[in-house]
Chains A and B, each alone.
Chain A
Amino acid sequence: MFKKVIIAEDLDGINLAIEQTLKDLEIVNFQNSKYCDDAFLKIRKAILDNEPYDLLISDLSFKKDHRDVQITCGDELVEKVRELQSNIKIIAYSVEDKSHRIKSLFDNADIDGFVLKGRNSIEDLKKAIHITSTSDQKFISYEVASALQEKSNFEIDDLDIQILKHLSSGTSQDEIIQIFKDLGIKPNSKSAMEKRLSKLKDFFKANNTVHLVSIAKDMGII
């Protein structure tokens, strides 16, 4: 379990909740800062004192106030801390649910956990502390877990549209493959073609190829 923890969070209420959680986990050596700059300085000082922190729990958004600050948001703080002290564990604790932002935290700052502030945040935070303290596994709240998975977007490209066009003009699957081969368009294998068709059917909620073409036409794609 972590020995020394620092919390960067500007809201007292949430601070109290985190502190309570830490106490529940029998961690007593913790400090909190309401500004990113303060947190960063404390981490630096701890390193210089040879008593480095084991864990940083950081919010992402900090309210601007009268104080001029160098580090304005948690994203910057975690990145800088990661540069300063590579072995520190970092858990981001935020309402942020934009997957690309969450992803960039994992990619750029190599954070160890992301806990979404929400209904289950205290439970999630406990889980995250447990997991990160005992292993190098990453933790991410269930609600935003998709951020780290492959995209769930329904995206189609020009090739899909070409296939749909060929289908609408009565060209058979094999003939399309042949045409693509002639034009040097890749991929042009039978399996790739089937994969694409099933994807399109899935996207357009079509029961069969005819249905797919009819929907594509209705939707103005072809």
Chain B
Amino acid sequence: MLRSPFFCFIFFLLFLSCKETKTLSGNSTSVSEEGYLLREKGIFNFKNKNFNSAFYNFNKSKMAFETTKDSSNIVYNLIQMASIQQINGDYYGSKETLTETLPYVKNRDVYSAAINNFFGIADKELSLYNDAISNYKEALKDCKDEISKQPSLNNIAVVYIHQKKYNEAIKVLVSILNQKSINKNPSRKARVLDNLGFAYFKDGLTEKGLSLMNEGYQLRKQIADFYGSIESNLHLAEFYLKTDSKKSNQYAQAAYEIATRFNSVDERLKALSFLISNDSGNKNVQYAQKYVTINDSIIKVRNNFKNKFAKIKYDSKKEKDENQKLRLEKAENLLSIQEQKYQKVVAGIGVIFLIIVIFILIRYYKNRGRIEKIKTAYDTETRIAKDIHDELANDVFHAMTFTQTQPLTSENTKETLVQKLDNIYSRVRRISQENSTIDVTSNYAANLKEMLSTYNSETTNVIINNIEKVNWELVDNIKKVTIHRILQELMVNMKKHSHASLVVVKFESNGKMLFIDYTDNGKGCEKDQIIKNGLQNMENRILAIKGTITFDSEPDKGFKVKITLPK
């Protein structure tokens, strides 16, 4: 099964590139470590002729290095794979594998030489002799020194022999032999001698050919190159095929035995073919049968290998694709997780923002409410201060001047003074009453009614309608207070300014709203004066409890106020 002439070269290359790649790739990520491990496994399996496993390992290793983009290791693994394929007779496959290396080969070195060599071998075996020679020549270009050029040159010569271009083959082989360095490598020298002899023999120079072939054979025997001696035996068997069938048989027999020992099928078959053509007796049938059996099995085995290699490659590729798919899915998952994360973050920020906004709004409205309250309180304070000043200060001052100017001993003046003081006292009480706390309990309606009724006088009738019909229990205390105060202010204004003889205060309510209508038949005032007349305070109070108040008045047409507020 092994292809003889190239085996040494392959191993030479194997160890060489092993060393080189190890020094080359220093990046020891886990993937590249895995790649190295697989490669070592592959080399081990290769040595033990476990070609399937070796091929599998190299392929895996190659893929590992593909992820780390370690081109020299990728090329190395591919070359190993191609050589395994060639050893097992899958030449098309090996060419395919070799083609894969091309994108990774950038400069011409020992790798490109090896690749071209393998191309050449494949082409030779596929009988594409011209291609083979051009490939070998390419390989030659990459070899710097004589020694490394020798195997390629030898290969070229072999191809020339196959092409029956014996002269050219002889020229090449003689040039190798003339190199001094060839003596350092006897097995290589033996091969060259053998090939040269065979070429001379084919070219018609039988004597010269025989002596060279024998020289090579003897040299091989000397260095115990049994594998190489198969080739020598076969060449000699062919040499004697037409002249001395007995000798030919002898060599063929020897070749067959050694080939059997080395399990080298092609050589066995060749030996058998010589035996068949030499022998015409009973043994001939036996040889023929053996030939057929071996041939069948080898075809089968090689087809098997071809399929297996293809399968390994395909499976690995599939696996890789699946891995890629998985990785893609994983990436997608990660992406979606990330997206969810972002969404969560955005939602969180939104919620926080909302809370802050709500917080700010609450504070704003609270503040506004507070400011309104403060404003109303301030307004009330100023109103009271004004009341005290207007109503009391003057009177007290009058009383003072009265006591200073009038003799108090007189009973008459004393009585006047008491009158004045009583007047002041009742006014103070009125102011206090206007601003005292308001009863918001069950007495509210009665209280309100009484407050309104206090403004009854000889000249003024305050008519109240339906005050009891409102369900005061359901009205907020704050609103009750506001209503009381506003009505009180209206009444005070009425008393001060309107000179009305009739006042009607009408209450109405439905489920949600409360309506209060105030009407008097007093002087009224100009519409644009309404707000100026201290009614702004009332409006503020009503707005504070979310109600509305509208004033309507014309001179001599009375004064109308409509209050609407929610319960």
| A interface list, Cβ under 8 A from B | 95, 97-100, 118-119, 151-158, 161, 203-205, 215, 218-221
Contact = CB atoms under 8 A, between A and B. Distances in A.
B504 A155 contact: no
A27 to B, nearest CB: 26
Given A152-B453, A153-B464, A161-B465, A219 B521 contact: yes
B160 to A, nearest CB: 132
A119 B453 contact: no
B425 interface: yes
Contacts of A97: 429, 433
Interface string B527-567: 00000000000000000000000000000001010000000
Contact of B504 (A100, A205, A220): A220
Contacts of A203: 461, 463
Contacts of A153: 449-450, 452-453, 456, 464
A122 to B, nearest CB: 12
B519 interface: yes
Contacts of A118: 422, 425-426
Contacts of A155: 449, 463-465, 467
Contacts of A151: 453
Query: Nearest 9 CB-CB pairs, A to B?
Result: A119-B422, A154-B463, A219-B504, A153-B453, A220-B519, A155-B464, A219-B519, A100-B446, A156-B465
B462 interface: yes
Interface of B: 418, 422, 425-426, 429, 433, 443, 446-447, 449-450, 452-453, 456, 461-467, 501-502, 504, 506, 517, 519, 521, 558, 560
A100 B443 contact: yes
Of the candidates A151, A215, A219, A221, the one having the most CB atoms from chain B within 10 angstroms of its own CB is A219
A154 B466 contact: no
Given A205-B461, A220-B504, A100 B467 contact: no
Given A153-B449, A154-B462, A221 B504 contact: yes
B510 to A, nearest CB: 15
5 contacts: A95-B429, A152-B456, A153-B452, A154-B461, A156-B463
A207 to B, nearest CB: 13
Of the candidates A95, A152, A153, A221, the one having the most CB atoms from chain B within 10 angstroms of its own CB is A153
A154 B446 CA distance: 13
A158 B418 CA distance: 47
Contacts of A219: 463, 502, 504, 519, 521
A220 B501 contact: no
A102 to B, nearest CB: 11
A157 B450 contact: no
B519 A154 contact: no
A98 B502 contact: no
Contacts of A154: 453, 456, 461-464
B422 A215 contact: no
A77 B436 CA distance: 21
Nearest to B461: A154
A157 B464 CA distance: 9
A98 B432 CA distance: 12
Contacts of B463: 154-156, 203-204, 219
A196 B426 CA distance: 36
Nearest to A99: B450
A221 B502 contact: no
A219 B501 CA distance: 11
A66 B467 CA distance: 41
A204 B461 contact: yes
B450 A100 contact: yes
A201 to B, nearest CB: 11
A81 B453 CA distance: 33
Of the candidates A95, A154, A215, A220, the one having the most CB atoms from chain B within 10 angstroms of its own CB is A154
B500 to A, nearest CB: 10
Contacts of A100: 443, 446-447, 450
Contacts of B461: 154, 203-205
Nearest to B423: A119
Given A119-B418, A154-B464, 13 more contacts: A98-B433, A100-B447, A100-B450, A118-B426, A153-B449, A153-B456, A154-B456, A155-B467, A156-B465, A215-B521, A220-B504, A220-B519, A221-B506
B43 to A, nearest CB: 103
Contacts of B447: 98, 100
B554 to A, nearest CB: 13
Nearest to A156: B465
B423 to A, nearest CB: 9
A205 to B, nearest CB: 6
A155 B521 CA distance: 17
A159 B423 CA distance: 41
A157 B466 contact: yes
A221 B450 contact: no
Nearest to B418: A119
B425 A215 contact: no
Of the candidates B466, B467, B502, the one having the most CB atoms from chain A within 10 angstroms of its own CB is B502
B450 A218 contact: no
